[in-house]
Structure 1
Amino acid sequence: GDAAHQVSPFGARGANSGIQDTDNLAWKLKLVMDGKAPATLLDTYSDERCFAADENLMNSTRSTDFITPKSATSKTFRNAVLGLAGKYPFARALVNSGRLSVPSWLTESRLNTPDADAFQGDMIPGAPMADAPVKTAAGDGWLLHQLGNRFQALHYVQDASALDPATAQSLAELATGAIAVEPIVVAQKGQAPAGLKTLIDTQGCVAERYDLQPGTTYLARPDQHVAARWRAADATKIKAALARATGNA
């Protein structure tokens, strides 16, 4: 990543973005190699990661300019920030010594399915998925440790044991498609029927960060970005969003 991107090292942007490149490319390349997606899907790797590279360049340039100002105005601003930061919290947030690299927001990607339902919060299509504590069958854990490397459908109910049988069957059938989608039930309590993974939102953080209401369903990409979301589970809409996210639309 460092050699390929040639960006300033502030924020570990070379190595981190190199790993993020791999996260973006690997699943697309696998689908194309397996004949499950057209070769044009690989074009979205360039589209999405060139955007991310430009974002990294912008942020590393800003860090460099803060550390070594290129104009009298920039130097005045930098010195004022450092002078105030010792006493005032607001100024500390302005100190730019190389903020850590984070996943890019791919909100303009053609692989996203735009919202048709009203949502609050940041988890819009194309957003890197937020983490939150959950309880798994193995014990306490984290949401992002359960996501990635495959497409997944997250369906929210308050009590997993009371999941509608027709919805349960519809979710389970997603795993048998040409491109499998792993169904995951996120709930406040209970256990979903056999064959459906259950994650318990122990602190309500998943519901808060994803604006979950009973029935809300998210389609997650293998690289932990939101592909689509709805207020109800609809297999036809999920399959259409999957086709779009894999270049098969």
Structure 2
Amino acid sequence: MIPKGMFLLDYHCERMINSAKTLAVFFANDQELFLRELIPTPSEISNKLDVAIRNAGKDTRQRLRVLLDFDGAITIQSSHLPSETKDFSDASIVVVLDKEPTPKDNIFLYHKTTEREVYNEARQRLGLGPITAPKNSDKPFDVILYNLDEEIMETTIANIAIEVKNPDSGELEWVTPPVSSGLLCGTMRRKLLEEGKLKERVITVDDLKNAALENRRIKCFNSVRKEYLVTLWI
């Protein structure tokens, strides 16, 4: 049974299991045992989540964090998810480019793990603290990472897309960087791609800046905040 209110649960479970299989070769004490017996099924993850939801209260808006160890243990962490201070329907959320590129050969860029050093360092370079709800201040909310080839990757908490003109129709459409640029295939990103609301295309730093200068929309998205427009500080 899939718990009610768990947005994109199937995608989250599938991504976790696939990442566990990929990373086991590097981190599992007994890779064969882990792959054969210890990786949980989607139903096992779902049942654990159902218990966590009941304990926290089904009417409580909450952020759930699912941790899988390489001994097969599943840990659920729950925290209250308050309403955002800012309205995510406009473009008042400010983002800024990182001060230096990030090499895309870091395996942790492609998997959702507790290893977040690359993202924390990007925030530190811009003088930003821990991630919180956007507040009415002049401080950027998030940082956009780019690789050594000056290809846009993602932000520290979300995937990103820009509006570009379709050369055939002349209409604006949303494009998002491919995973090969060095980024996590977020669950919301996957949903939007499958629905045909996004197309994959390499986005360069110049592409991003030009979109901002030409007043074409830029948006970020993840499974917690869904889609939200942002403004790039140049």
Q: TM-score, normalised by structure 2?
A: 0.31
Q: TM-score, normalised by structure 1?
A: 0.30
More strand by share: 2
